[in-house]
Chain A
Amino acid sequence: EAGVVQSPRYKIIEKKQPVAFWCNPISGHNTLYWYRQNLGQGPELLIRYENEEAVDDSQLPKDRFSAERLKGVDSTLKIQPAELGDSAVYLCASSLAYEQFFGPGTRLTVL
């Protein structure tokens, strides 16, 4: 069974530019999460989806971040415009019941 797929794996952009990350969860997993992980810290939740519905986006900086999960499968996370402090690893995860599985992540560097 394929795991969580993310792309791109790496992205380098200049500040104020837009960037988008894509995630395809494990087949059949209804719940999808986007996390941000800074060096030396644990993942921090940005948004959680149950099927198409964003059930928790309280930690998503809505002035510059947006996300969507059309048709309840793939998801896209966008940052516009990016700031220097957005440099981090962006992780997508999915779960069916209680166990959560991560994709390989996208390492974003904002110059």
Chain B
Amino acid sequence: QKEVEQNSGPLSVPEGAIASLNCTYSDRGSQSFFWYRQYSGKSPELIMSIYSNGDKEDGRFTAQLNKASQYVSLLIRDSQPSDSATYLCAVNNYGQNFVFGPGTRLSVLP
């Protein structure tokens, strides 16, 4: 059974701080990794993808991947109240299915 684990939270951070979201996965064959943001009552929205070990930055978001440790994280710098949402981690082994974690609920406090 391929699994993706996340701390369900809620993770509370003050406005302007760095939010750190973590995800571990069980399938060593996983090749592609994704972070989705899901606002309450809305569908998941793709915000980051990462395929190689290391860091990938996009604006205030940085995804970090360590395949040896089977660990992927998302950092959100200068967190804003509008970042308050559930963040879903998803992994994929090329040509196979996406497996989603349960999501981490982030709350950014003004």
Q: Give the residues in chain B near A98, CB-CB below 8 Å.
A: 32, 49, 51, 92, 94
Q: Are B43 and A104 in contact (CB under 8 A)?
A: yes
Q: Count the A-B residue pairs with Cβ separation under 8 angstroms: how many?
A: 47
Interface size class of B (residues with CB under 8 A): 20 to 34
Partner among B32, B44, B97, B103 whose Cβ is within 8 Å of the Cβ of A102 = B44
Q: Give the residues in chain A near B46, CB-CB below 8 Å.
A: 99-101
A contact residues, total (Cβ < 8 Å) = 19
Q: Mark B78-110, 1 if CB is under 8 A from A, else 0.
A: 000000000010101010111011110000000
Closest to A104 in B: B43
Partner among A42, A48, A91, A100 whose Cβ is within 8 Å of the Cβ of B102 = A42
Q: Give the residues in chain B near A14, CB-CB below 8 Å.
A: none
Q: Give the residues in chain B near A103, CB-CB below 8 Å.
A: 43
